[in-house]
Amino acid sequence: MKRFLKNLAQDPLRYAPWLYLLACLLAYAPLIPWLGFYWDDWPIILFIHNKQWGQLLTHFSYDRPFSPWPFFIVGQLGTHPLVWHISALLMRWLGVLGLAWTLKPLWPRQPRFIFYVALLFAIYPGYLTQPVSVTFATQLGAQIALFVSLGAMAHAVTQPQRYWRYTALGMLAGLVHMFTMEYFVGLDLVRAALLWLIVRRQHNKEDYSASAKRVALQWAPYLLVMAAWLFWRFWLLELPQEPYPLELSRNPLRLLAQLGPGALQDFWHALVGVWRLTLEPSFWPAWALTATSAIGLTWLLKRAPDEEQAVPLREAAWLGILAFFLGLLPIWITGNRANEADYGSRYLMAGLMGASLLAAWLLTKFIRSPGWRAVALAVVLGLAIGSHVRNAEHYRQDWQTQRDIYWQLHWRAPNIAPGTAIITPDRLTPLTGEPLLGAALNMLYPIRSEAPVADLWNLELRYSHTLDPILRGESFDINYRGHIFRSERPDSVLIVRMAPEGGCLWTLSAYDAFNPYITEEERQVALYSNHARILAQGTPPVANIFGAEPERGWCYCYQQAQLAIQFGDPAAAISMLTTAESRGLQPALSIEWLPLVQAHLMLAEWDLAAEASQRALADGPAAGAMLCAMWADWQAQAPGDVYAAITQAYCTQ
């Protein structure tokens, strides 16, 4: 170890691949043990968990039929979130190695500059979807294949004795990246610039015409690959619907006006905007890591040897500009932008090569001293590392909320009858929602139907295609990418939502028609929430996916009390809630004492029910109508004086 550290201090560039890995570990690894699944991860994990490989292929046949190969490879290792996040980190690292390998034949005597570019590329800020580890395995796999293809082409030009070997590898990798997905088809066009720069350096005495012919000959095999992809994609491939419609004007000036403003905004966002985001003051551990990383990288980078020759700054600048605009061209012509928040930031992946080249160019161009340049780069990299940790914290919090929801739903509903639509008012968390939450629900509960039928599905009330059928008394018939869900009866719905202000998960009932904490739409459909869809016997969630059971706090007691009341055991509900109180547990909202009121009413314990009613409205009289509706169901049995007192104290109507 001492020898390694000594060698590292003398010449860090010898260990460049491992330093790229170190940068990735600092940026992406700190919170990996606490990250989970998000957005489009869920359907993929569902199919892998149930070994429905054919269904996985069907899912992607709707837009990218050859894209699932990374899921098959990583999926052999299991469905634990840790497996996928480590795999995503390693794939990101392989992409960095691929970029460095691509640039080596272009600038063989500028290893330090390539080192800078690759480090920036590894942890460039603004790309915020690294924690979406499953879904973006395809993008990362395609990116690796792209750089293998570009690098093989560049090495074929500089090593003629291995031309055919490298060309075969480059063409094969080109086919893989294009047919996997279209993200990097635009960046593939940067081949011409790479070839031109290499050929002109090799044959600087030749005229431009001769150089152009050499470039054309070297480029020809890869143009054939692109032609094959274009023919397949636009003439042979028949999709159920075009996921990325092209809406372009045939007038060049109008086309420029159509794409130009958005392209320039993305360019500014990539070079300036994303760095502003690294200065956010939140989450002090990220800032601690920023400072530590900057100090360590300063020590390391200042020991990298100077370049043997001056960096060709003009080449780097033009190559960076071309790589950025060509990389994002397919994104822009499909009407998307790279400066969109959260999930939209995935598009920046196609522009990272260009952005990293331009950032390294700016540092080299305007900071002439190698020592101060190393300091500036270390600070920039430290800020990038901190921004990724801060971004991961956002995902960590979402996963914690998701797990809390899944376990609370299991506590309240150990099993749910097949064919039930789980209705939520909106996304249950910012990073998951309709229809993707449906896949998670079909893993939370054991699958009883055969593929492609789904037992459960999630729909959100914010959409008219959810609200209107419920109000009209219609059932649901859904086909999402070959995944079929049908509710046989109109009342096969269960409406759930997270309570505000840190409350528990609520399964709405008829009483919630008077709930002041929910929306008007939710109050309208509360009557349709059918608790009979909840079954008493079930199995715990899969720990390898949903994690270990969280601490059994107030919400556990609340859910178990609700379940006991549903199945006619009010004594168990009272025992559960009074035990919770004796442990010092209290609800975030006093309205969550209503199950205690209901249990005492069921046992005709009127005075205790009246006492519990006071607890339920400790936060204020807003929920009085809900309490009165509950008492009204027992008006005939309750003593007149007790009922009159309740009515006078709490009922507003």
Tell me, yes or no, whether 323 and 436 share the same domain.
Answer: no
Please check whether residue 205 lies inside any domain of the structure: yes
Tell me, yes or no, whether 130 and 267 share the same domain.
Answer: yes
Check which CATH number belongs to the domain holding 619 and give it.
1.25.40
Q: Which of 550, 567, 598 is the last residue of a domain?
A: 550
Tell me, yes or no, whether 423 and 458 share the same domain.
Answer: yes
Q: List the alpha helices (DSSP H) in 302-367.
A: 313-333, 352-366
Q: Which of 519, 534, 550 is the last residue of a domain?
A: 550
pLDDT tens digit string along 456-506?
Answer: 999 999 888 888 898 888 889 999 888 899 988 888 999 999 999 889 999
Tell me, yes or no, whether 281 and 181 share the same domain.
Answer: yes
Q: Which of 329, 361, 394 is the last residue of a domain?
A: 394
Please check whether residue 9 lies inside any domain of the structure: no
| Nearest CA-CA partner of 585 in 611, 616, 552 | 552
Task: Report yes or no: 372 and 353 within 8 Å, Cβ to Cβ.
Answer: no
pLDDT tens digit string along 541-577?
Answer: 999 999 999 999 999 999 999 999 999 999 999 999 9
- Domain interval for residue 337: 20-238+254-394
**Both structure tokens of 610:** 């009246």
Tell me, yes or no, whether 72 and 157 share the same domain.
Answer: yes
Tell me, yes or no, whether 544 and 559 share the same domain.
Answer: no
Q: How many helices (H) and strands (E) does the chain have?
A: 28, 8
Q: Which residues contact 555 (CB under 8 A, 6 or more apart)?
A: 404, 408, 411, 504, 505
| Nearest CA-CA partner of 646 in 618, 619, 606 | 606
Burial class (CB in 10 A: 0-12, 13-18, 19+), 647: middle
| Nearest CA-CA partner of 63 in 282, 321, 253, 240 | 240
Query: Which residues in 371-419 belong to E strands, given as ranges?
Result: 415-416
**Average pLDDT estimate for 131-137:** 95
Please check whether residue 422 lies inside any domain of the structure: yes
Q: Give the span between the Cα atoms of 498 and 425, in whole angstroms.
A: 9
List Cα–Cα distances, 621 to 52, 588, 598, 617, in angstroms: 52, 16, 18, 6
Please check whether residue 216 lies inside any domain of the structure: yes
Query: Which residues in 66-109 belong to E strands, given as ranges?
Result: none
Tell me the whole-structure pTM to 2 decimals: 0.92
List Cα–Cα distances, 25 to 101, 123, 264, 271, in angstroms: 20, 10, 32, 23
Q: Which residues contact 540 (CB under 8 A, 6 or more apart)?
A: 410, 549
In this prediction, residue 248 carries a pLDDT of 60
Q: Which residues contact 575 (CB under 8 A, 6 or more apart)?
A: none
Tell me, yes or no, whether 426 and 534 share the same domain.
Answer: yes
Tell me, yes or no, whether 500 and 624 share the same domain.
Answer: no
Q: Give the span between the Cα atoms of 587 and 593, in whole angstroms.
A: 8
Tell me, yes or no, whether 535 and 546 share the same domain.
Answer: yes
Is the pLDDT at 261 greater than 90, yes or no?
A: no
Tell me, yes or no, whether 60 and 144 share the same domain.
Answer: yes
Please check whether residue 183 lies inside any domain of the structure: yes
Is the pLDDT at 170 greater than 60, yes or no?
A: yes
Tell me, yes or no, whether 481 and 428 share the same domain.
Answer: yes
Please check whether residue 268 lies inside any domain of the structure: yes
pLDDT tens digit string along 576-630?
Answer: 999 999 999 999 999 999 999 999 999 999 889 999 998 988 887 778 888 888 9
In this prediction, residue 202 carries a pLDDT of 79
Is the pLDDT at 244 greater than 80, yes or no?
A: no
Number of domains in the chain: 3
Other beta carbons less than 10 A from residue 158's beta carbon: 16
Tell me, yes or no, whether 312 and 424 share the same domain.
Answer: no
Predicted confidence band at 5 (pLDDT cuts at 50, 70, 90)?
Answer: low
| Nearest CA-CA partner of 627 in 538, 550, 513, 533 | 513
Please check whether residue 493 lies inside any domain of the structure: yes
Please check whether residue 625 lies inside any domain of the structure: yes
Span of 148-162, 401-415, 441-455, 551-565 with lowest mean pLDDT: 441-455
